Amino acid sequence: MKKGEDTVRKKEVKAVLFDLDGVLINSIDAWHHTYNDIIAHFNKHPVSKKGFRKIFGNTIEKNVKMIVDIPAREANRLAITYFKGNMDYVMIFPQTKNVLEKLSNMGIKIALITNTPKKILMPVLKRYKIKKYFDAVVTIDGVKKGKPAPDMALKACKMLKVSPKNAIIVGDTKNDMMAGKRAGCITIGYKMKGDYRINRLNEIFGILK
């Protein structure tokens, strides 16, 4: 992306599409416990936190299939069942609400695109009172393919009625960046490489100047 084009595109940003886990909330401990609960259901040995970090960010069914071969629907059902008992491990990042509120006040549309099933996501949004900030929410069960496929980003843009080239996707995994690039969005890597990189969530406003 050339510098001149870069500046023009930033001025034309109409929407920001956020990944959830690792960007707005920290749920790795909750998912680690949930994952081990699922595989314990099949009498399999638990996975260490270090081992789980290597697969965190994939879809539930993909992660579960590494241990036991079950249909995606069953993997999601078990995740929904066991995640409820691990909800207390979920933590919201300190800057999340302020960033979402400021973007909303700027007139920028906000979407959430996540590989998390809707029945797990909604209680989390309700608990931390952030559902009101999202103009669109796209979950794994609302598309044919999860990230790194572009389906979620494209669906969110359609719901928001914005062109992908006028949307930014913010994520913390290669899957997020790949999904964004494939959809034609600008990518911001949270503590990782993208078209831009930020190390704190509020640094997004430096890109939107």
179-196: average pLDDT: 95
pTM: 0.86
Domain boundaries, the chain: 3-26+91-207, 28-89
pLDDT beyond 90 at 9: no
Best CA proximity match to 140, nearest among 122, 118, 158 = 118
129-160 pLDDT tens trace: 999 999 999 998 899 998 999 999 999 999 99
105-133: average pLDDT: 94
pLDDT beyond 90 at 201: yes
Best CA proximity match to 168, nearest among 144, 194, 140, 132 = 194
pLDDT at 10: 58
Percent of the chain with pLDDT strictly greater than 70? 95
57-77 pLDDT tens trace: 778 888 888 888 888 889 889
pLDDT at 2: 39
CATH assignment of 3-26+91-207, given 3.40.50.1000, 3.40.470.10, 3.40.50.620, 3.40.50.150? 3.40.50.1000
pLDDT at 1: 38
201 close to 93: Cβ distance less than 8 angstroms: yes
pLDDT at 115: 87
- Strands 109-114 and 136-139, by their bridges, are parallel
68-88: average pLDDT: 91
